[in-house]
Amino acid sequence: MRPAPTVVEGVRVLRLPDAAAVAAAAAAALIDAIYQAQAQGRDPVIGVATGDTPQATYARVTAAVESGCLDPARAWIVALDEYVGLGRDDPRRYRHELLRKVVEPWGVDPTRLLVPEVDSADLTEAAHVFEERLAAIGGVDLQLLGIGRNGHVGFNEPGSDPEQGTRLVRLAPSTRAANAVHFRSVDEVPQEAVSQGLATILRARRLLLLATGPQKAAAVAAALGPEADGPVPASVIRSHPHVTVVLDHDAARLLR
Ligand code: GLP
């Protein structure tokens, strides 16, 4: 039997047994968004998150592409954020991660990957250009989101203004500590990034937030429940008209 979604704070929440089920549900939603745009004669615009959570989802979409069921060659792939301070060819740049995990395996034209520009001397202007390019391609059809342990989305750390767009941000020490697994030490983790703002994220026509594992349970509960220590950034999704949160058992543990 398929688990039915519940509604928490106006948000559709699908609680599934494990991470594999989350990936299957998310991949189905992603594939559907691509089909829907193509049926309307448009190039799909898919917003993607980096991090470990969505990797199994991307692999399932890759399997659909390889089986010949899906051809996203003309889709636009839009990143949420990019580290500042890594060399252009550094494999830990999110641009390179998305080329490896999404763009190449899905057969998307690499010129259709939109990532905030971080090599410019004027990052305020670069963030503005990112917003303009995003608007020019028609905005995001479906934005996939992960959630940080402190409730961040993209790199919008606690205290981010929900009205803000793409901009230079400073990473919280806990975010740098969590992301240190991808670096030799926490000292190597960049201090800054350019991130889509919460206002940018809320402009996507659909949002799909994924969370798996017990380490995300508190952030999920804060995003969708009473906010003891003030709002966490992810709670802005409550104001979006088309949002689904997909959780595994462990991530849903603290949700009422
Ligand atoms: C990172 C990214 C987010 C991501 C989050 C969770 O720092 N900027 O976009 O959703 O943290 O990552 P993970 O899925 O690896 O837990």
Give the model confidence (pLDDT) of 52-91 as tens digits.
Answer: 999 999 999 999 999 999 999 999 999 999 999 999 999 9
Which band of pLDDT confidence, cut at 50, 70 and 90, is reported for residue 128?
A: very high
Q: What phi-psi label fits residue 33: left (phi over 0), alpha (psi between -120 and 50 degrees) or beta?
A: alpha
Q: Which one-letter amino acid corresponds to residue 252?
A: A
The rounded Å distance from CA 39 to ligand 1 centre is 31
Does any ligand 1 atom lie closer than 6 A to the CB of residue 151?
A: no
Mean pLDDT of the region 9-33: 97
Rounded distance between C-alpha atoms, residue 122 and residue 214, angstroms: 39
Active site residues: 81, 150, 152, 157
Does any ligand 1 atom lie closer than 6 A to the CB of residue 51?
A: yes
From 22, 48, 50, 149, mutation site for ligand 1 pocket: most ligand atoms within 8 A of C-beta = 50
Among 5-14, 29-38, 49-58, the range scoring the smallest mean pLDDT is 5-14
Rounded distance between C-alpha atoms, residue 22 and residue 110, angstroms: 27
Please say if the pLDDT value at position 227 is more than 80. no
Q: How far is CA 203 from CA 46, 86, 173, 196, 207, in A?
A: 13, 29, 28, 11, 9
Quote the percentage of the chain above a pLDDT of 90. Answer: 94
Mean pLDDT of the region 167-193: 96
Nearest of 25, 17, 45 to residue 209 by alpha carbon: 25
**Phi (first) and psi of residue 87, to 5 degrees:** -60, 155
Tokens of 21: 């089920």
Position 12 scores a pLDDT of 96
The rounded Å distance from CA 154 to ligand 1 centre is 7
| Ligand 1 atom at minimum distance from 81 CA | 8
Tokens 């961040």 belong to residue: 152
Which band of pLDDT confidence, cut at 50, 70 and 90, is reported for residue 229?
A: low
| Displacement of CA 211 from its chain's centroid (Å) | 11
Please say if the pLDDT value at position 222 is more than 90. yes
Does any ligand 1 atom lie closer than 6 A to the CB of residue 209?
A: no
Average pLDDT of the chain is: 96
Does any ligand 1 atom lie closer than 6 A to the CB of residue 154?
A: yes
Q: Which residue has the higher pLDDT, 52 or 229?
A: 52
Q: Which one-letter amino acid corresponds to residue 231?
A: P
Position 5 scores a pLDDT of 87
Of all protein residues, the one whose alpha carbon is nearest to atom 11 of ligand 1 is 148
Quote the percentage of the chain above a pLDDT of 70. Answer: 98
Which band of pLDDT confidence, cut at 50, 70 and 90, is reported for residue 219?
A: very high
Does any ligand 1 atom lie closer than 6 A to the CB of residue 94?
A: no
Among 74-83, 128-137, 224-233, 246-255, the range scoring the smallest mean pLDDT is 224-233
